[in-house]
Amino acid sequence: MDCAAQKRNWQAQPLEEQFIPEVIALWNTCCGPGKLVYRQLDEAAFRTLFIQSEPGVNLISKVILADGHVAGFAGGAYRDAAEQGYVTIVLVAENWRREGIGQTLLAALEEDLKNTAKGCLNRFEVMFFNPVTLSWIVPGSENDDHPNAPGVDVSCDGYLFLKNQGYRDIVYQNSYYQPLQHYAYPADIEKKLKELEHQGIQITLYDPERHTGLNELFDNLENEPWREVVMANEAAGSGRVPLIIVTSDNKVYGFTGPIRVEPSGRGYFAGIGVHTDLRGKGVGKALFSVLCMELKHIGASFMTLFTGETNPARNIYEAAGFKIVRTWADMKKELKA
């Protein structure tokens, strides 16, 4: 703790009801164009994120008061029986920065996470798997958003702050963005789609009355979460939304989706995968471009997604014209024995 923090002897305390409006005001002062990219919050959104926990999820919120008003806020979470706690946010009012408030808040949050979890935590993390999901606005866009921040924005002050508090980078994630208003197939994709057609390979919408092998595809992909999402979408009475597939002789050899348009206009898809028998033929790039076009056709105005810095899938996104708009660091801090 620095000298200023020792002099003031800051004390972090649990967030009480009467200070929620001040914390929301602090959030909305810190977030916006040219500041933190997170979406601004009203009271209902704030309570959903930091007060009203889901079953099996535990939330901790801390504040520091200066002259009777909120000077800083920190929020974190952990899941029942987990081995790690998550740091969601640390905010300090601009006129109280560099006074040790952030350090004090983070230390208090870590201590509460450790103690409340009855000593079972052995590390703290800042990454995608945090049960608290912060929506953020694509810089330079009107209101185009992504529903989760997959780490710490490496361009913000909080990144260096966490490194100085003992957090270390695990992996980097890149967020990609593509407006869809003028989206069209790149010339090489048009050519590839024709080549695949000549080989008897089509990319089309899934028809359960005509196509077979969907369940077997997920055996090949070895991805149970994708299977669960897709099969739930195809179940009777599910309110089914479109699923795009790769097919040959009516057998499924790839998928992307299910697809839908979120309220913000963002095009959503749950996953994308190609059977091992068809890899290396450019099917993945063609499938992803068809995904973009189908989302445009059902009314999506943009797409966002993220992937690891070293993930070869980034070649598919970049071939479709997607641009990196943010880089995030997954970080962790191991507890000393």
**Do 108 and 255 share a domain, yes or no?**
no
Asked, for residue 313, whether it belongs to a domain, the answer is no
**Do 55 and 159 share a domain, yes or no?**
yes
Distance, in Å, from the CA atom of 319 to the CA atom of 306, rounded to the nearest integer, reads 15
Q: Are 183 and 293 in contact (CB under 8 A)?
A: yes
Q: Are 247 and 202 in contact (CB under 8 A)?
A: yes
Asked, for residue 325, whether it belongs to a domain, the answer is no
Q: How confident is the model at residue 5 (pLDDT cuts 50, 70, 90)?
A: very low
For position 7, what pLDDT does the model report? Answer: 57
Structure tokens at 102: 């952030």
Mean pLDDT throughout 169-180? 96
**Start-to-end C-alpha separation, the chain:** 21
Distance, in Å, from the CA atom of 26 to the CA atom of 245, rounded to the nearest integer, reads 46
Nearest to 73 by CA among 33, 41, 115, 44: 41
Containing structural domain, residue 19: 3-171+330-334
Structure pTM?
0.87
Mean pLDDT throughout 16-40? 96
Phi, psi dihedral angles at 19 (to 5 degrees): -100, 0
**Do 207 and 161 share a domain, yes or no?**
no
For position 33, what pLDDT does the model report? Answer: 87
**Do 213 and 293 share a domain, yes or no?**
yes
Asked, for residue 273, whether it belongs to a domain, the answer is yes
Q: Are 303 and 139 in contact (CB under 8 A)?
A: no
Summary mean pLDDT of the chain:
92
Asked, for residue 29, whether it belongs to a domain, the answer is yes
The predicted-structure confidence for 98-141, as pLDDT tens digits, reads as follows: 999 999 999 999 999 988 876 677 889 999 899 999 999 999 99
Q: Which 3 state secondary structure label does DSSP give 281?
A: coil
Residue 181 has pLDDT above 80, yes or no: yes
CATH of the domain at 205: 3.40.630.30
Asked, for residue 324, whether it belongs to a domain, the answer is no
**Do 234 and 113 share a domain, yes or no?**
no
Q: Are 324 and 311 in contact (CB under 8 A)?
A: no
The predicted-structure confidence for 53-89, as pLDDT tens digits, reads as follows: 889 999 999 999 999 999 999 999 999 888 899 999 9
For position 205, what pLDDT does the model report? Answer: 96
Asked, for residue 278, whether it belongs to a domain, the answer is yes
**Do 165 and 34 share a domain, yes or no?**
yes
Q: Are 147 and 48 in contact (CB under 8 A)?
A: no
Domain total in the chain = 2
For position 58, what pLDDT does the model report? Answer: 93
Amino acid symbol at 308: G
Q: Are 232 and 238 in contact (CB under 8 A)?
A: yes
Asked, for residue 224, whether it belongs to a domain, the answer is yes
Mean pLDDT throughout 234-244? 86
**Do 203 and 160 share a domain, yes or no?**
no
**Do 19 and 134 share a domain, yes or no?**
yes
**Do 215 and 134 share a domain, yes or no?**
no
**Do 121 and 167 share a domain, yes or no?**
yes
Tell which phi-psi region holds residue 74, choosing left (phi > 0), alpha (psi between -120 and 50) or beta.
beta
Distance, in Å, from the CA atom of 108 to the CA atom of 126, rounded to the nearest integer, reads 16
For position 312, what pLDDT does the model report? Answer: 85
Distance, in Å, from the CA atom of 102 to the CA atom of 140, rounded to the nearest integer, reads 29
- The contacts of residue 44 (CB under 8 Å, 6+ apart) are none
**Do 38 and 159 share a domain, yes or no?**
yes
Asked, for residue 275, whether it belongs to a domain, the answer is yes
**Do 137 and 219 share a domain, yes or no?**
no
CA atoms within 13 A on the CB side of 220: 16
For position 8, what pLDDT does the model report? Answer: 80
